[in-house]
Structure 1
């Protein structure tokens, strides 16, 4: 079971951001990414929102780094860790523009991109960019197909659909990977179906662990019905973690304690059929976070499998 993390600082929703992140900046982000790479994390991830409306700003904040720019910056200072968009709201942009950005990122990073995509949920954001919010699921379905073509091996990709139509337009550089993994985010019935039938993996959004077995069974059933075989990566977002004894209130939902106890709790995800877990640590500073990352890699990860 692999493990990765959504990076701090780059998105600061009040649901999960720690107070210290507000004053943090690029150097802190780089330090965390390097710590994750050093601790054997499979990926680091970055979110996507173009603009946050006033009504949602108190909860979501307006701090949302651009995923392509952020992941490209981190690609230049890391060597191994994969770079995940979790998730890119690709329906907000033309797929050729998205393909140009992410193909370049994959090329520059030596083939480390994992493209996570999702439908989005902020109506005002869609309206500002001239995209029909009500059709976002339908548009995302077609966008995934268009991106498959545009990120494939052909220099001159071709796609003919209701929303997008292109051929005879070349794009280089091509991705370094022959096949860019595309993971679909979301936990609604439509998102799960999209992941099963169009994705290489599934990124749940907030499913508690007791809901995951039914979701995973539905994914498997949909893929079996469609005759789909081959690798498929099932993900899970764990509860907040703290490795060791904190000495402060880390919250009632946090999994904390000795490394082997934390690992034992997380092994339940593997038993459900999860292939990769996304972890987040409770912490009061960058130093405490990088210490937690190191402790997880050295003390918890060896007991996950």
Structure 2
């Protein structure tokens, strides 16, 4: 599976599975596994390129009010949804893979890819919570170099070889077999983050870049830097460039959706979102304001039917 060249596709971060106060809607605290299934089925049915689940192991009390402690495990969540879907890709956005040995992560994600018929996109990031690293015995201050090596080790461990091999400063393994292998001959590995280190990591080690919070006016310069770093590294393979859109509401809402939410008729929304494609973005991660699971799935369906067909016009 690969995304088409020259066309913008759309995916979404799943609600419910992470409930930070920065973005969670009130109804998510009462949501059920069946709600999550219905959202995934809607994405599958209406042409979303991917659904994504993010990752934290444990949240310290000092951050709980802002971040919440509701963070579903991405492997378990995506495996649960894989059985209820057929087409939509399954993405970790993002897995803090430096918290785990790469052979452990490879076992989990290879199994997920195998069971889902090759639908995994492995999105990875460095992490930002010191206490989480400390509790798991990982050096927070060295998380950048550790992630660099973990990405390299995962490249080997998620490849076609039953006995992957990697020799580095932090990890060293060979002659250790892992089955099942991923269904894909090459699991896409995308790097999340917008810091200089994250952009460099994406440019030199990844198949895709997942910016975190870059406003529209900052993205073109970031994309230029990403492509320059990739060219300087002598890498000619395509990199999938992403963007997270503003919050959306298709139509005229009868309630306050916030002044930074894009609202209005489908053609106006499509015209606005086409700016991402013009700056070199390949996939947009959309998010919708909603007061219930039903309103969310209605918004998803309306976007897919009335906005998405015009993203590439």
- TM-score exceeds 0.5: yes
Contact 1:39 1:296 in 2 (8 A): no
Give the 3-state SS of the residue equivalent to 1:240 in structure 2: strand
When the two structures are aligned, how many residues end up with a matched partner?
305
Cα shift readout 1:220-241 (whole Å, capped 9, x = no counterpart): 1001111111221000000000
Give the corresponding residue for 2:3.
none
Q: Distance in 2 between matches of 1:253 and 1:42?
A: 25
Contact 1:41 1:81 in 2 (8 A): yes
Pair 1:159 & 2:152 matched: no
Pair 1:90 & 2:86 matched: no
Pair 1:204 & 2:211 matched: yes
Give the corresponding residue for 1:226.
233
Give the corresponding residue for 2:276.
269
TM superposition shift of 1:119: 0.1
Give the 3-state SS of the residue equivalent to 1:11 in structure 2: coil
Contact 1:37 1:78 in 2 (8 A): yes
TM superposition shift of 1:39: 1.3
Q: Distance in 2 between matches of 1:167 and 1:6?
A: 35
Give the corresponding residue for 1:304.
311
Give the 3-state SS of the residue equivalent to 2:220 in structure 1: helix
Runs of 4+ with >3 A deviation: none
Pair 1:253 & 2:260 matched: yes
Mapping of residues 91-240 of structure 1, within 5 Å: 91-240=98-247
Give the corresponding residue for 2:44.
37
Q: Distance in 2 between matches of 1:158 and 1:297?
A: 43
Give the 3-state SS of the residue equivalent to 2:18 in structure 1: coil
Mapping of residues 46-65 of structure 1, within 5 Å: 46-65=53-72
Q: Distance in 2 between matches of 1:251 and 1:282?
A: 9
Relative to the length of structure 1, the TM-score reads 1.00
Cα shift readout 1:116-143 (whole Å, capped 9, x = no counterpart): 0000000000000000000000000000
- Where does the alignment leave 5 or more consecutive residues of structure 1 unmatched? none
TM superposition shift of 1:25: 1.6
Give the 3-state SS of the residue equivalent to 1:179 in structure 2: coil
Alpha-carbon RMSD across the aligned residues, in angstroms, is 0.4
Give the 3-state SS of the residue equivalent to 1:143 in structure 2: helix
